[in-house]
Structure 1
Amino acid sequence: MNVNWRAIPQANNTLAALSAACEGYGYHLEVTGEPHPDVTIYSINSINERMYRDEITGADCITIVGGPHASACYREVAEYADYVIVGEGEYTLPALLSAIEEGRDPPPGVATAAGYTPARHTVLLDGHPPFTQIKGFVEITRGCPFSCGYCQTPRLFGRCMRHRSIDEIVRYASRYRDIRFVTPNAFAYGSDGVHLRLDKVERLLRSLDGRVYFGTFPGEVRPECISRQSVELVLDHCANTRLHFGAQSGSDAVLHRLHRGHTVEDVIRAFDLCREQGLVPIVDFILGLPFESDDDQRATLDLVKLVTRGGKAHIHYFMPLPGTPLANSRPRPLLVEAEKVLGKLALDGRITGSWMDHEIRFFRRTSHL
């Protein structure tokens, strides 16, 4: 049986992980630019789904679709795809391919037009290599204990953090000269995500041989996790001169309603620590949140201006994502003054991102089928 992977740039890391998982069961994923028989696999997010829907509908082959959008909207996607993988794919995808090849019903974790039975397993990272022949970033942690209203991560991977062991991380990181990790919060490695174990982070960093980039995309950190001790770990063991973390809002009221789990003071403290220690802070913000008042938006602008005096801000306009608590919310318009401030900061090269176009935000992210 020929098994093809539809090349989609935003899913390159997913390709690396699932190609490795399928190899262990004797399936080779052939990367293609269009659907081919016998089976073609897609991993889509909520932005690019519309780009591939017609192609999947008209494909002259068996189609399997996964990714964050498919997981959140599996009933909708099952109307035009043959099979939909809901959630993690390392175990489910090879099991589905085997079922197709042998003419059996799909395993749990796969939705079809006929129905859906949830998966009965959780992926242990050490049980599956992050990549083999097709290289990708090394995923060191999966899951997030927080429940930010806009975020799909805890809904896709759960709120219990699962970590790859140091030995396995070192094994795959050794294939890179410049080492970068996938994680929802780099400083949470080895912990439950709330009570940090920086001793385990230090042990990991000491074990690596190469130029390590830690706390930068695609493995940023949270502001309340930035302390003198965590910053010193980066300075002592890593090559990056920047630290990337999310503020999201300059209003404590908004942060509370988002269930972010930190305060504006935490953001300012993290910013100051980075500057004092010589690291450039790169800070994420979301504007246009549905419950954001004019004063809340102005407070966020004030924090953006503070950050850009000694670092960089990365700005996004709120987009409701399926499967999240804010899925049915409507973004509120930006104030005219906000557009002017952001425009000037952008012209000065002090902010990046997009507060007008959702696609720029989501096309830079990876997903897991």
Structure 2
Amino acid sequence: MKIYWRHIPQANNSYAALSAACEVHGYNLEAAEGPCPDVTCYSINSIDERLYRDEIAGADCITVVGGPHASACYREVARYADYVVVGEGEYTLPALLFAIEEGRDPPPGVATAAGYTPARHTVLLDGHPPFSAVKGFIEITRGCPFSCGYCQTPRLFGRCMRHRSVDEISRYAARFRDIRFVTPNALAYGSDGVHIRLDRVERLLRSLDGRVYFGTFPGEVRPECISQQALDLIVETCANTRLHFGAQSGSDRVLRLLHRGHTVEDVVRAVDLCRDNGLVPVVDFIFGLPFESDDDQRATLDLVRMVTRAGRAHIHYFMPLPGTPLKQSRPRPLLPETEKILGKLALDGRITGSWMDHEIRFFRRTPHL
């Protein structure tokens, strides 16, 4: 049985991880630019889903679809795909391929038009290689204890953080000259995500040989985790000259409604610490949140301007994602003054991203998981 992976640039890291997981079971996932017999696998999100829906529906082969959108909207996707892998795929996808080959019913964790039985397992990162023949970033942590209203991560991977061991990370990192990680919060490595364990972060960083980029996309940090001790460690052991973290709003009221778990003061303190330690802060913001007032939006704009005096900002326009608490919400329009100031900051090279077109914002980013 021939198995193909539909090449979608934004899903390259998923390809690396799932190709490695399938390889252990004797299945080779060959990259393809379209559906191919016998089986073609897809990983889609809520922005690119519309680009591939008709292709999947009309494919002259067995189609297997996973990814953030498929996991959140598995009933919808099962109407045009043969099989939908819901949630983590390292165990489920090889089990499904075996079932297809043997002519059996799909395993738990796979939805079809006939129904869905939830998976009864949790993936342990050390039980599956981060990549094999197809290289990808090394995922060191999965899950997030926070419950930000716009974010799919805790809904896909749970709120309990799971970590890959230092020995396993070091073994795979040895294959790179430049070492980068996938994690929802790099400084939370080895911890529960709330009570930071810098001793474990230090053990990881000191175990690595090569140029280590830690706390940069796709493995950012959270602002309240940034301390002088953490920055001393990063400056001493890592190659990056930037630190990437999310502020999302300049309003404490909005941050509380989002359940972000930090304050505006945490962001200001993190920016100042980065500047004092020679690191450029790169800070994410979301405009157009559904419960954002005019004053809240102006406060976020003020914080963006403050950040860009010392570093860079990456701007998003709110998009309600399926499976999140804000999935039914509508984005709030931007104030004319917001559009004007963001446009000027962009022309000056002080901000990146898109606050008008989700696809521009998304397709300039690094692959999703």
Q: Which range, TM-score by smaller chain?
A: over 0.9
Give runs of aligned pairs for residues 146-161 of structure 1, distance below 5 A: 146-161=146-161
Give runs of aligned pairs for residues 271-310 of structure 1, distance below 5 A: 271-310=271-310
Answer yes or no: is 1:255 the counterpart of 2:260.
Answer: no
CA distance in 2, matches of 1:240, 1:56: 40
Answer yes or no: is 1:366 the counterpart of 2:367.
Answer: yes
CA distance in 2, matches of 1:120, 1:365: 31
Answer yes or no: is 1:336 the counterpart of 2:336.
Answer: yes
CA distance in 2, matches of 1:330, 1:155: 20
The offset of 1:360, in angstroms, is 2.7
**Residue 204 of structure 1 corresponds to which residue in structure 2?**
204
CA distance in 2, matches of 1:276, 1:19: 43
Question: What is the percent sequence identity of the aligned residues?
Answer: 83
CA distance in 2, matches of 1:92, 1:360: 32
The offset of 1:331, in angstroms, is 0.2
CA distance in 2, matches of 1:343, 1:366: 26
What's the TM-score once normalised by structure 2's chain length?
0.99
The offset of 1:366, in angstroms, is 2.9
Give runs of aligned pairs for residues 37-76 of structure 1, distance below 5 A: 37-76=37-76
Give runs of aligned pairs for residues 140-179 of structure 1, distance below 5 A: 140-179=140-179
The offset of 1:361, in angstroms, is 2.8
CA distance in 2, matches of 1:367, 1:307: 26
Deviations 1:107-130 (A, max 9, x none): 000000000000000000000000
Q: Secondary structure at the match of 1:284?
A: strand
Give runs of aligned pairs for residues 120-135 of structure 1, distance below 5 A: 120-135=120-135
Q: Secondary structure at the match of 2:246?
A: strand
The offset of 1:337, in angstroms, is 0.3
Segments of 4+ in structure 1 off by > 2 A? Answer: 360-363, 365-368
CA distance in 2, matches of 1:113, 1:367: 26
Q: Counterpart of 1:230 in structure 2: which amino acid? A: A
Deviations 1:1-54 (A, max 9, x none): 000100000000000000000000000001100101100000000000000000
**Which has the higher relative contact order, 1 or 2, with Cα contacts under 8 A spaced 6 or more apart?**
1
Give runs of aligned pairs for residues 93-132 of structure 1, distance below 5 A: 93-132=93-132
Deviates more, 1:308-317 or 1:356-365: 356-365
Q: 1:224 to 1:285 in 2, by over 3 A?
A: same
CA distance in 1, matches of 2:314, 2:23: 38
The offset of 1:161, in angstroms, is 0.3
CA distance in 2, matches of 1:20, 1:285: 34
Q: Counterpart of 1:84 in structure 2: which amino acid? A: V
**Residue 347 of structure 1 corresponds to which residue in structure 2?**
347
**Residue 269 of structure 2 corresponds to which residue in structure 1?**
269
Q: Secondary structure at the match of 2:31?
A: strand
Q: Counterpart of 2:3 in structure 1: which amino acid? A: V
Answer yes or no: is 1:229 the counterpart of 2:239.
Answer: no
Q: Secondary structure at the match of 1:309?
A: helix
Answer yes or no: is 1:325 the counterpart of 2:306.
Answer: no
Deviations 1:140-171 (A, max 9, x none): 00000000000000000000000000000000
CA distance in 1, matches of 2:43, 2:132: 19
Q: Secondary structure at the match of 2:57?
A: helix
**Residue 92 of structure 2 corresponds to which residue in structure 1?**
92
**Residue 23 of structure 1 corresponds to which residue in structure 2?**
23
Q: Counterpart of 2:179 in structure 1: which amino acid? A: I
Q: Secondary structure at the match of 2:310?
A: coil
CA distance in 1, matches of 2:240, 2:337: 34
CA distance in 2, matches of 1:134, 1:334: 42
CA distance in 2, matches of 1:46, 1:82: 19
CA distance in 2, matches of 1:228, 1:323: 36
CA distance in 1, matches of 2:217, 2:44: 20
Q: Counterpart of 2:221 in structure 1: which amino acid? A: V
CA distance in 1, matches of 2:206, 2:222: 22
Q: Secondary structure at the match of 2:135?
A: coil
Deviations 1:51-95 (A, max 9, x none): 000000000000000000000000000000000000000000000
Q: Secondary structure at the match of 2:243?
A: strand
CA distance in 2, matches of 1:150, 1:350: 25
**Residue 241 of structure 1 corresponds to which residue in structure 2?**
241
The offset of 1:365, in angstroms, is 4.1
Structure 1 residues not aligned, in runs of 5+ = none
The offset of 1:362, in angstroms, is 2.6
The offset of 1:328, in angstroms, is 0.5
The offset of 1:359, in angstroms, is 1.3
Q: Counterpart of 1:88 in structure 2: which amino acid? A: E
CA distance in 2, matches of 1:134, 1:39: 19
Q: Counterpart of 1:155 in structure 2: which amino acid? A: R
CA distance in 2, matches of 1:93, 1:161: 22
Q: Counterpart of 1:311 in structure 2: which amino acid? A: G
Q: Number of aligned pairs?
A: 368
